[in-house]
Amino acid sequence: MRICILGATGLVGRELLTLLDRAWPGAERVLYASRDQTLEHGGESFAVHAAAKLETEDAPRGDLAFVALDDQYSARYCPRLVDLGYRVIDKSNTYRMDPDVPLVVAGVNHRRVDDSVSLIANPNCTTIPLTLALEPLRARFGLGEVTVSSYQAISGAGVAALDDFIAQTAAGFAAMAESGDRLGEGLDAANYPGNTVPHAGKTDDSGFSSEERKLINESRKILELPELGIGAQCCRVPVTVGHYENVWLELREPTTAEAIAEVLRVAPFVSYLPGAEGAELTALATLKRRDSALVGRLRRDNRDQDGRRWCLTVAADNLRLGAATNAVRAGSAWFGGEDPSLRV
C-alpha cells in the first residue's frame, strides 16, 4: 500500500504522518510539500518532494492520498492524484459543498465512502466534533434548531500563525511584567496574543463570516438536514490547540438529561464528561484525548418549557480529531487499518 501526504510539512500533515504508523504501519509513505526538503518528525528524517513532481509523466501511482493544502492547490492537485489511482481525502474547503463529493465525518456518515467514490472532503475542524455530538441526538430524539458559539485555537490558522502567536505572546507578556502593565495596553488590539478576535474570513452581505458559513452549511450536508435551523458565531481565542463550542439545541421530542447522557456515552468517537460544572472540559484537556470529541456541561436551557431545549459544550483537538484523525478514519472505510480506534 502506498500512501501520499500532500502538505506533509504543515501542522495537520505532521499529525497524519504520526497516525499512519498506527493505522497502516507497513505502508509506503510518499510526502510532498511546496519544495524539495527534509522533514524531521518523531525522531525520523523524511524526504519531502516538491508537489510539482506529481504533474510529471513518471509521477508514482498509489492507493490513498491525504491533501492538506489551501483551496487553490487542492483544486490543482486532487484531480491529478485521482488520475494517478489514489483514493483522495481533501482537507480544504474546495470540494466540501460540491454535491458530487461526499463530506464525511467518521462515525456520522462514513457510509458514503465506498468503491464508487474516489474523492471525499474532510469537514472544517469545528464541524467534525459538533456533528459527532449532534448525530446521535438527531437519531434518537430528532433535531430542531441549533445555535453554536465557537472559540477556536490559533493553530487552526496554520503553522506560521501559531509560531508568530507563541513568539509574540512570550515577548508581549514579558514586556507587561517588566512595565507593570496588568491590562495589556501594550499588546496589539488587532492581533491574537492576550486577545479574542473575530475570524478574518470574508463576510457575506448578511455579515456572517466564512468560518460561520462553513459550520452552518457543512453541518446541514453531513446530517442530511438541508433545512436545519442553525446559527453560528465564531471567534479566535489565544490558546494554541483546542476548539471549543457552546451549543444550544432544540430536540423534536421531549426528554431528560439522563436520557441524553446515555445516548452520548455510547456515541462513536465521543467522550462524554458528566456534570454540568464542566470538569475536565477545557481546551488543553483535548490534548489528553486527541482523537475524541469531549462533550459535557449538559444542562436544561433555562427557557425550556417541555424538555426539548438543552445546552452543552463540545471541545476537540482541532489538529487531530478536527482534521487528521477524521481523515484517517474516513480512509479506513476504503482500506481498513490496524488500530481499532482509527477504524470505522
pLDDT in tens, 154-181: 999 999 999 999 999 999 999 999 999 9
143 pLDDT band, cuts 50/70/90, is very high
Which residues belong to the active site? 125, 243
Give the pLDDT of residue 206: 85
* pLDDT of res. 229: 98
289 pLDDT more than 90: yes
CB-based contacts of 233, cutoff 8 Å, min separation 6: 148, 149, 150, 212
Location of C-alpha cell 432544540: 250
Cα separation, 180 vs 173, in Å, equals 10
User: How high is the pLDDT of residue 51?
Assistant: 96
pLDDT tens-digit series, residues 177-232: 999 999 999 999 999 999 999 987 788 888 999 999 999 999 999 999 999 999 99
Please state, in angstroms and rounded to a whole number, the distance separating the CA atoms of residues 131 and 221: 10
Residue 212 sits at φ, ψ, to 5 deg, of: -70, -40
Residue with cell 518523531: 42
How much is the pLDDT for 201?
A: 76
pTM, two decimals, is 0.96
All three cell numbers of 13 = 500533515
Query: Helix or strand or coil: residue 20?
Result: helix
Share of the chain above pLDDT 90, in %: 96
> What is d(CA 142, CA 127) in angstroms, rounded to the nearest whole number?
19
Could you give the count of Cα atoms lying within 13 Å of 13 in the half-sphere of its Cβ? 26
Domains annotated for the chain, with CATH where assigned, are: 2-123+323-342 (3.40.50.720), 127-153+196-318 (3.30.360.10)
Are 49 and 35 a contacting pair, CB within 8 Å? no
**Which of 70, 86, 129 has its CA nearest to residue 105?**
129
- On average, the pLDDT of the chain sits at 96
Strands, sheet with 37-41, edge to edge from the N-terminal-most edge strand: 37-41, 44-50, 28-33, 2-6, 64-67, 87-90, 119-121
Picking from 130, 140, 143, the residue whose alpha carbon sits closest to that of residue 244 is 130
For residue range 299-343, list pLDDT tens digits in order.
999 999 999 999 999 999 999 999 999 999 999 999 999 999 999
Distance CA 144, CA 33 (A): 43
- Phi and psi dihedrals of 211, rounded to 5? -65, -40
